[in-house]
Structure 1
């Protein structure tokens, strides 16, 4: 706990960036990991229910279309349009959610597909002038559409970027103010920025085996003038020309085109960033811990400096180039903010998701004014894992000095035990695939994923009961404040010791 107290207190005293809802992502190249895999982790930050879904490979009619974009009720108004669907879409795992103004549900920030293409969607603000010039009837895929379509169609990270760029070039882009995607496969990564303004501006930078990238928000720095002819860059043809036209960039060879300074927040998105710790600091921490393990990535995703009530879930993709079968591609998912929720293994070959981890009414858009649909009643009768671990967060984050280390230790012990069983499970599944028994392999993976999910829910239930009783006996549950609003009225609920300097332990309050 000392690390969180002292480090964050220094940062809070020197520079506190505005509190925002802004998903984050971490990339670590394969030369910097313990097993040679590429690691991609992060979360989505939305005030919404989040639920796990495994979407099967599907065939579509020749003239099928999909609806993309947003509606007039979005913060930057838009129109929905239809674009062509491809004949076949790939299998993928994702966390869906429902609530983002004007963006039709289900919405996603990415996930993992059967070709080990992993995607994280991350906020990345465009400069005010671009936001202001965004057409009021903008059309084209939105951030969620781009992530989902890339998961459905891409066999490599590079191909995912090409798909995103081609969609923007052909159909436009529906923005809420600027966005990015962090994309990886077993060999490389890419960061893609999509800008507001209705000009179809986008740029992508390749991340290699020795690279680390933390997007919070997503950023890219200097872009070479010959980006269109290079193998490690992509972008819209007008990327630099439009900035020159607007008078935002003088094409001086001594002054490279810094896309963050020209189209973003003036060069501040890597440092100081947007919250209690900057992307630059986190990148330095990742490099210092190399070789990075999957469990180290999980620890960073659940780090209290970043993971709070805004974090709707946690994800870590371990992208391996030695898989004996594509169905063994693995995505670790925490059912809500991972600061107090366990990571669970979900293989692409898993057939389905337990009802407890699927969609429920809790925080689902439109559920408040309505009674339940009878067709949904038995699913709603099941316990919702997201709600169980959210309750654990609220108990723990009320008194993190007393409870956080204990709760996270319990979750990490569960994860360690799960990891120790994975080699045996994957060997057995690989033997079944090699013997021409894919149904048996998928049944095994499904049984094991479900068993871990049930065990995690039991642990969560016990922690809520035990810690809840302890909190009631030691501290009590306060009444509702006078004229109190149950919705957010201040900073997010957080387990970050030191986020409020008044709550720092007395022996650390003056330390720098």
Structure 2
């Protein structure tokens, strides 16, 4: 697809989205598996590093959805565990009926990383969902895996146990990509109130892209296989409904049985946004050995990163490093217009400008500010700053995308050039028993780069606005509402006709 000439709108993606990328260690530059992705939600996003905590016997947590969800539900309480692990995540504030703060995942102190991705089910299954529905929902599962799991496999087993014990609350089906340094899994949780779920282990020489999530061929004897897991009734229920004939000789294809039954719905080539999962997987594989820079390029691709992308993430899962040195690169909003910044679990403070603000936060237009947040709200907000960059840049992407992208990459390369000495120094301090000093070093560097990024964003915003003014390209709104009613979102794609098939424009 050409990315040069001009058109700043695209057909809106499904409302329930987010991308996930998995690259097996045999295909990476470091020899370790990598995860990347975006979070696609309207509401604001903010960075949080949640500390490990001990909990009292009898403590409980609230899970599930409310009666405002598309499939109404009731919140329930489930027991808290005695100890939860430290993890890093990007939270967001709104998905109707799903209580905030919500998360698509992140990474914990045991090198377990999670990505949440939409994956709708067949209409008949969704229609079976009881009302009110109860149970854990997609964000609960992502957070609980980070809080409680020491391995990816344990995370998969935890999801199955939680669904079996408490039920599953849904908007119509969902997947999670869960990985650690040794293995990775795709877990698909199904609507219908039947406790259905399936999980497939990914190979170390595999690339998997979820948008939506999918699992295809699944063995009938999955309960006896090390590379598959699922609910006890996964196949029997499909047989009872007449959706699968075990005597047909056909493979049990999870997507074909439990996925949407539209003619255009296919697991890898159905076509969502402007690159299918298969095309993204091949484009990533062609980069092998894949580096963190390469995966940032894939996540940043204007064909998938637009106004709906709330942030970008890339992480390498290297089990040899200390838990404080678990690192994840995070772009504070869509990475087409924002730099990836390095954060470590050893960082002890997130700058105010990267914390929660009222911009795009649920309920902000209907209430005054909580006084406890007044200084944080008075600070600049990274999400808003780089949204400004996006809106100025995408107004004329043919001109500005080729100029802005190298600046973001150059900023990131400065950080990458510092990784060796910085992480070696922190590891040396930890080995000498000076963990507090190591955390201080990581915090100083991470927060410093975060503030440098804010300065870069201000410079880009001023330059882009001045360019628009001085070249006579500044346009004021002519009609309509400031809130999108239907159809299109801002993107930096060009020469793109929303009425033509995406595959024909690549």
How far apart, in 1, do the equivalents of 2:497 and 2:210 lie? 25
- Structure 1 residues 278-287 or 261-270, which shifts more? 261-270
**Pairing of 1:44-83 with structure 2 (within 5 A):** 44-83=39-78
Look up the match of 1:397: 394
Aligned mate of 1:224, from 196, 219, 228: 219
Structure with greater contact order relative to length (CA < 8 Å, sep ≥ 6): 2
1:40 Cα offset (Å):
0.3
**Pairing of 1:21-36 with structure 2 (within 5 A):** 21-36=16-31
Look up the match of 1:207: 202
- Rate the CA distance shift 1:192–1:460 in 2: closer, same or farther, 3 A: same
| Superposition RMSD in Å | 2.0
- Structure 1 residues 27-36 or 265-274, which shifts more? 265-274
Look up the match of 2:180: 185
How far apart, in 2, do the equivalents of 1:94 and 1:486 lie? 28
Answering whether residue 273 of structure 2 is matched by residue 278 of structure 1, we say no
Contact 2:112-2:146 within 8 A present in 1 as well = yes
Look up the match of 2:464: 467
1:265 Cα offset (Å):
2.2
- Structure 1 residues 281-290 or 299-308, which shifts more? 281-290
Answering whether residue 231 of structure 2 is matched by residue 236 of structure 1, we say yes
Contact 2:4-2:398 within 8 A present in 1 as well = no
Deviations 1:272-320 (A, max 9, x none): 2322110011111111111100010011111111001000000111111
How far apart, in 2, do the equivalents of 1:38 and 1:488 lie? 40
1:132 Cα offset (Å):
1.0
Look up the match of 1:440: 437
Aligned mate of 1:176, from 151, 171, 174: 171
- TM (normalized to structure 2)? 0.95
Look up the match of 1:456: 453
Look up the match of 2:420: 423
Contact 1:17-1:273 within 8 A present in 2 as well = no
How far apart, in 2, do the equivalents of 1:488 and 1:444 lie? 47
- Structure 1 residues 489-498 or 47-56, which shifts more? 489-498
Contact 2:56-2:82 within 8 A present in 1 as well = yes
Look up the match of 2:345: 348
- Structure 1 residues 247-256 or 356-365, which shifts more? 247-256
1:229 Cα offset (Å):
1.2
Answering whether residue 287 of structure 2 is matched by residue 292 of structure 1, we say no
How far apart, in 2, do the equivalents of 1:502 and 1:407 lie? 28
Look up the match of 1:506: none
How far apart, in 1, do the equivalents of 2:13 and 2:151 lie? 36
How far apart, in 2, do the equivalents of 1:286 and 1:258 lie? 25
How far apart, in 1, do the equivalents of 2:249 and 2:334 lie? 45
Answering whether residue 318 of structure 2 is matched by residue 320 of structure 1, we say yes
Give secondary structure in 2 for the equivalent of 1:44.
strand
How far apart, in 1, do the equivalents of 2:188 and 2:457 lie? 38
Look up the match of 2:405: 408
Answering whether residue 193 of structure 2 is matched by residue 195 of structure 1, we say no
Gaps of 5+ in 2: none
- Rate the CA distance shift 1:301–1:172 in 2: closer, same or farther, 3 A: same
1:209 Cα offset (Å):
1.0
How far apart, in 1, do the equivalents of 2:433 and 2:226 lie? 39
- Rate the CA distance shift 1:493–1:112 in 2: closer, same or farther, 3 A: same
Deviations 1:214-245 (A, max 9, x none): 00100000110011111000100010110110
Give secondary structure in 1 for the equivalent of 2:177.
strand
How far apart, in 2, do the equivalents of 1:23 and 1:243 lie? 28
Give secondary structure in 2 for the equivalent of 1:63.
coil
How far apart, in 2, do the equivalents of 1:218 and 1:511 lie? 24
- Structure 1 residues 258-267 or 213-222, which shifts more? 258-267
How far apart, in 2, do the equivalents of 1:180 and 1:21 lie? 11
Contact 1:23-1:44 within 8 A present in 2 as well = yes
Look up the match of 1:493: 490
Contact 1:351-1:446 within 8 A present in 2 as well = yes
How far apart, in 1, do the equivalents of 2:492 and 2:126 lie? 34
Gaps of 5+ in 1: 504-509
Deviations 1:370-396 (A, max 9, x none): 111112111100000110000100011
Aligned mate of 1:311, from 290, 300, 309: 309
- Rate the CA distance shift 1:19–1:181 in 2: closer, same or farther, 3 A: closer
How far apart, in 2, do the equivalents of 1:502 and 1:474 lie? 31
Contact 2:111-2:319 within 8 A present in 1 as well = no
- TM (normalized to structure 1)? 0.94
Contact 2:2-2:505 within 8 A present in 1 as well = no
How far apart, in 2, do the equivalents of 1:21 and 1:370 lie? 27
